[in-house]
């Protein structure tokens, strides 16, 4: 089973239609809408080009949001006719079918090539429109079973932060919408721009892992006793690290460490170390000019071939392909000697 699933960027074939339209409705999910506005709706004079942002209400009445706010916007489904990207920030109820004219507008938009993106429960809108049949999709872990039961034709992915199917993109729980929106920025404008947007948002440009780490799992009190072991391991990824060495650092038996490690992180020690090495290797590929052989050594892989094998298995691309896709464009922020790349 893969350590994590990360969808590689979809290569643009045609020039970008930068018109973004966000759907709002009575019962609007406030946080999900805020994600859309923060990523796509702010003015960004530091960039030569950016998105054109608008909103479209699908209800012809005063709109209330979660949290008790009232908002207004024109109910103008015609605004969707020329949008390049349509964002659906959640939905008010899994059981409530969206208005028929709205679903028809989404189907038409999809038919002419517009991209459709849902955050969290917004996936139920795309499902109701019949646009997810035979496709992979995700949503908040609490809704995955309900989505699969209501729409068995969808390949529901419960353990990922987002799924990119090219023209249709879906995210997991609310905050995963940030990951997906940043991913779309990366697709459209490249890694340099995406990294700068992430920096302005004060979030990581990449967040590894899937929803499994967020599903109800009480964090045991002994987690803190492992924190210094985890930090030590991250600082010594280029060394040989096995469970015996970790247990010795923690002052525990191998059996006790293994049990507490899995309870605290969701992974066995061996898998966790391998995941951290992959994360560090990705940072090195993005931020430095080190050769593949140097990256492998610095991140603790036995050889460049071992690094390539892990990338093919868990990232879906070779290290060189990954570097070409994600290399940070700002040369001032990338040091060729690798001193600026630190384990995420």
List the CATH number of the domain containing 153. 3.40.50.880
pLDDT of 279 reads 87
CATH code, domain carrying 304: 1.10.10.60
Work out the pLDDT band at 305, boundaries 50, 70, 90: very high
Integer Cα distance of 27 and 13 in angstroms? 37
Q: What number of other Cβ atoms are within 10 A of residue 311's Cβ?
A: 22
Does residue 213 fall inside a structural domain?
no
pLDDT of 114 reads 96
Domain coverage including residue 286 = 220-344
Q: Does residue 282 share a domain with residue 139?
A: no
Work out the pLDDT band at 306, boundaries 50, 70, 90: very high
Using a 10 angstrom Cβ sphere, with 0-12 exposed, 13-18 middle and 19 or more buried, the burial of residue 90 is buried
Does residue 286 fall inside a structural domain?
yes
CB contact at 8 A, 137 and 147: yes
**pLDDT value at 334 more than 60:** no
Integer Cα distance of 203 and 206 in angstroms? 9
pLDDT of 343 reads 46
CB contact at 8 A, 154 and 127: yes
Q: Does residue 187 share a domain with residue 114?
A: yes
Phi and psi torsions of 190, nearest 5°: 100, 165
How many domains are there within the chain? Answer: 2
Q: Does residue 114 share a domain with residue 233?
A: no
Alpha helices (H) in the chain, listed in sequence order: 30-36, 100-111, 123-128, 144-150, 176-189, 191-201, 223-235, 243-250, 254-265, 269-287, 292-299, 304-314, 319-326
For the chain, give the mean pLDDT: 84
Does residue 276 fall inside a structural domain?
yes
**pLDDT value at 39 more than 70:** yes
Does residue 158 fall inside a structural domain?
yes
For the segment 88-114, what is each residue's pLDDT rounded down to a tens digit?
999 999 999 999 999 999 999 999 999
Q: Does residue 157 share a domain with residue 257?
A: no
CB contact at 8 A, 5 and 278: no
Q: Does residue 24 share a domain with residue 99?
A: yes
Integer Cα distance of 157 and 113 in angstroms? 24
Does residue 60 fall inside a structural domain?
yes
Does residue 326 fall inside a structural domain?
yes
**pLDDT value at 274 more than 80:** yes
pLDDT of 227 reads 80
pLDDT of 76 reads 85
End-to-end CA distance of the chain: 22
Looking at per-residue pLDDT, the higher value among 223 and 69 belongs to 69
pLDDT of 231 reads 86
Q: Does residue 176 share a domain with residue 147?
A: yes
pLDDT of 212 reads 56
**pLDDT value at 219 more than 90:** no
Tell the residue number behind the tokens 């191998």, with chain if given.
254
């Amino acid at each position: 089973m893969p350590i994590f699933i990360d969808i590689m960027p979809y290569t643009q074939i045609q020039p970008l239609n930068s018109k973004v339209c966000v759907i709002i409705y009575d019962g609007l999910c406030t946080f999900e809408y805020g994600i859309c506005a923060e990523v796509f709706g702010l003015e960004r004079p530091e960039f030569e080009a950016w998105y054109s942002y608008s909103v479209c209400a699908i209800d012809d009445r005063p709109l209330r949001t979660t949290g008790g706010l009232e908002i207004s916007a024109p109910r103008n489904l015609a605004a969707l006719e020329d949008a390049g990207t349509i964002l659906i920030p959640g939905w008010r109820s899994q059981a409530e079918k969206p208005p028929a004219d709205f679903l028809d507008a989404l189907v038409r938009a999809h038919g002419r090539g517009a991209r459709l993106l849902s955050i969290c429960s917004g996936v139920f809108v795309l499902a109701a429109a019949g646009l997810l049949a035979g496709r992979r999709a995700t949503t908040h872990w609490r809704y995955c079973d309900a989505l699969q039961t209501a729409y068995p034709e969808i390949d529901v992915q419960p353990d990922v932060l987002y799924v990119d199917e090219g023209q249709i993109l879906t995210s997991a729980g609310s905050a995963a919408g940030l990951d997906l929106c940043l991913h779309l920025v990366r697709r459209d404008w490249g890694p340099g721009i995406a990294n700068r947007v992430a920096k302005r948002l004060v979030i990581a440009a990449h967040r590894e892992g899937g929803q499994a780490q967020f599903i109800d799992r009480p964090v045991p009190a002994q987690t803190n006793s492992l924190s210094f072991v985890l930090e030590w391991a991250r600082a010594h990824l280029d060394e040989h690290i096995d469970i015996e060495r970790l247990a010795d650092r923690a002052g525990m038996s191998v059996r006790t460490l293994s049990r507490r490690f899995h309870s605290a992180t969701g992974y066995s020690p061996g898998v966790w170390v391998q995941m951290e090495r992959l994360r560090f290797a990705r940072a090195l590929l993005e931020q430095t000019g080190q050769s593949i052989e140097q990256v492998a050594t610095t991140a603790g892989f036995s050889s460049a071939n071992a690094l390539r094998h892990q990338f093919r298995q868990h990232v879906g691309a070779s290290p060189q392909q990954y570097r070409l896709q994600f290399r940070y464009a700002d040369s001032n922020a990338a040091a060729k000697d690798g001193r600026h790349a630190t384990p995420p």
